[in-house]
Amino acid sequence: MPRPGVDDYAFVIWGTAPTGTRRVVARFEGGAVRAAVFRVRSRLADRLRERPFTLWVLELPLKAACSAVTVRLDPLGTQAGRQARPTLCRRVARE
């Protein structure tokens, strides 16, 4: 299991995106977090029998689990919403 890199952070979201994606930002009630973005180029993608793509990962504060999270991929402007995570939110409330 991955260990959080910063105290009070343990809510990880990751995904894939088209190769043109340069920045991924997640917004939630109370803040925003920028993702680490990695390009998977043709050489590796070919080995995976895939087309080139972008992989992104971000770690949000636990309190973000109690609200909806919107992830925006730039420069495409694509957005994806994620609902609150009740189980994780209850854990935050206990701490």
Average pLDDT, the chain: 83
- For the chain, give every domain's residue range: 9-94
Predicted confidence (pLDDT) per residue in 15-51, tens digit: 999 998 999 999 999 899 999 999 999 999 999 999 9
Apex 91 CA angle, 85 and 93, nearest 5? 100
pTM (2 d.p.): 0.77
Least confident piece of the model among 21-25, 45-49, 57-61, 88-92: 88-92
- Report the CATH architecture of 9-94: Sandwich (2.60)
Residue 77: count of CB within 10 angstroms of its CB:
7
